[in-house]
Each structure stands twice: as structure tokens, then as C-alpha cells.
Amino acid sequence: QWKNNMRHGYGVHLWPDGAAYQGEWKENFAVGNGRFEHSDGDVFVGQWKGNLASGMGCYLHKGATTYQGEWQNDLQHGRGVELFAEGARYEGEFRDGQKAGNG
């Protein structure tokens, strides 16, 4: 959907490298709920604010680690659970994309 010549409402954007975003837009920014698939097959499904993952979301690395939890400014930030391909698990706090404190 478009408004004032900007993406606004629900829509899909495809990049030349094969990446794709499907979800909500407001004045050309990804906002609300959406799904972004990277060209390498990694996927983020969750909440967006100003084109950045912010709020709750799940990041699936193709065939590897999965993170489900809170995001801020495109980084893991807050409570979350990281599951590794070999079966290990970390549940705890994240700050600016890094594990923080005890998990």
C-alpha cells in the first residue's frame, strides 16, 4: 500500500540480492509486525520500529542458532532465549546484542 508516494500500510519489498520484507509500513519505514528474510536464508519475524527490529521477535539462522526474545535498535536487548544447533541453550538477559549477567 502507498500513501503520499511512500510505502504505508501492509506490503512486500524485494531487494535485488533476494532479501525480502513482508509486513507493516508507515511513511516508508518498516513498523509493527513483519518478516524479513535475508538473502542468505536467515529470517527475522517480529516487531519493527523505524526499519529496526524493536520489541519481541525471533531470529532464525539458517540451520543453526535461534534467538527468541526482546530486541532494541536491531540488537538482542532484554530477556531472551538462544538455542544452538548442537542443543545448548542460554536463557537470560541480553544487552546491545551480547549476553549479560547470569543465564
Q: Which CATH class is domain 2-100?
A: mainly beta
Which tens digits make up the pLDDT trace of 2-26?
Answer: 888 889 999 999 999 999 999 999 9
8 Å CB contact between 96 and 78 = no
Residue 47 has pLDDT above 80, yes or no: yes
What confidence tens digit (pLDDT) does each residue in 77-89 have?
A: 999 999 998 889 9
d(CA 22, CA 94): 27
Domain residue limits, the chain:
2-100
Q: pTM of the full predicted structure?
A: 0.90
